């Protein structure tokens, strides 16, 4: 029974539901929810939650499972990342401190150069604020970190990533 005392049974269907999609070329079309759900289930589920549609009859019966599956996949990928210590016989660091320690131990600067290259490439996209400074209106704090890897040609790779999954979705959320 629902809060209002009614006993609703939702039909497990997306029939008749369409979502307005804005494409990269800025055109918009109405697409069947069934097609979108099949091709991009996670994005549709996240959009439904952010737009407060998740409790609607076309969404309530499948969103929970899709988001649970997404979380399970992310968890497994993270676990695999933390278990891997070497790649191609080269130790892969898990933090900047560890990367610089590896460089000091081996007498090289491979990790340091990878970090410098990545930061030079991403700096224009970020505005770093002082720790004590208040955030401007409409902004959210996002924790960032660096992920390291060793490429096939044995060069070191550093990737600066933001924990965007921890932030609130904007009200006017659009997936392009």
Q: Are residues 68 and 93 in the same domain?
A: no
pLDDT band at 115, cuts 50/70/90? very high
- Range 32-44 average pLDDT: 88
| 98 and 150 assigned to the same domain | yes
Q: Which residues, 6 or more positions from 82, have their beta carbon under 8 angstroms from its beta carbon?
A: 94
Check: CB of residue 7 under 8 Å from CB of residue 56.
Answer: no
pLDDT band at 111; cut points 50, 70, 90: very high
pLDDT digits 0-9 by tens, 118-153: 999 888 777 666 666 677 776 777 778 888 999 999
From the list 142, 159, 162, the residue with the least C-alpha distance to 92 is: 159
Does residue 172 form part of some domain? no
Who wins on pLDDT, 13 or 110?
Answer: 110
The per-residue pLDDT for 128 is 67
The tokens for 118 are 């990545």
Chain centroid to CA 31? 24
Contact between residue 58 and residue 14 where contact means Cβ atoms under 8 Å apart: yes
Same domain, 74 and 37: yes
Element (H, E) at 52: none
What pLDDT, on a 0 to 100 scale, did the predictor assign at position 131? 65
Q: Tell me the pLDDT band of 8, cut-offs 50, 70 and 90.
A: low
Using pLDDT thresholds of 50, 70 and 90, give the confidence band for residue 2: very low
pLDDT of res. 57? 82
Give the pLDDT confidence of 51-79 residue by residue, as tens digits.
888 888 888 888 899 999 988 888 887 77
Q: Averaged over 92-97, what is the pLDDT?
A: 91
Of 37, 59, 80, the residue that ends a domain is: 80
Of the residues 55, 80, 105, which one is the last residue of a structural domain? 80
* Backbone φ, ψ for residue 140 (5° rounding): -130, 150
Please give the residue that has the higher pLDDT: either 175 or 113.
113
Per-residue pLDDT at 5: 45
Domain end marker among 80, 108, 137: 80
Above 90 in pLDDT, residue 112?
Answer: yes
Does 47 fall in a domain?
Answer: yes
- 134 and 71 co-located in one domain: no
Residue-number span of the structural domain to which 111 is assigned = 84-164
**Residue (of 174, 175, 167, 163) closest to 74 by Cα position:** 163
pLDDT confidence of residue 103: 92
The total domain count for the chain is: 2
Q: Based on the domain organization, do 72 and 94 belong to the same domain?
A: no
């Amino acid at each position: 029974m629902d809060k209002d005392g009614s006993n609703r049974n939702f039909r497990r269907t997306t029939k008749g539901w369409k979502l307005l999609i804005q494409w990269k070329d800025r055109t918009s079309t109405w697409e069947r929810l069934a097609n979108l759900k099949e091709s991009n289930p996670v994005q549709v589920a996240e959009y439904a939650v952010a737009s407060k549609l998740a409790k609607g009859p076309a969404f309530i019966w499948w969103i929970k499972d899709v988001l649970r599956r997404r979380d399970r996949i992310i968890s497994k990928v993270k676990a695999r990342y933390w278990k891997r210590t070497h790649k191609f016989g080269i130790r892969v660091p898990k933090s900047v401190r560890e990367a610089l320690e590896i460089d000091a131990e081996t007498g090289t600067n491979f990790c340091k150069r990878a970090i410098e290259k990545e930061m030079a490439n991403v700096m224009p996209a970020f505005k770093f604020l002082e720790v004590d400074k208040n955030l401007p209106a409409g902004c959210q704090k996002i924790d960032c970190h660096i992920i390291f890897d060793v490429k096939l040609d044995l060069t070191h790779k550093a990737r600066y990533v933001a924990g965007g999954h921890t932030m609130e979705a904007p009200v006017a959320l659009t997936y392009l």
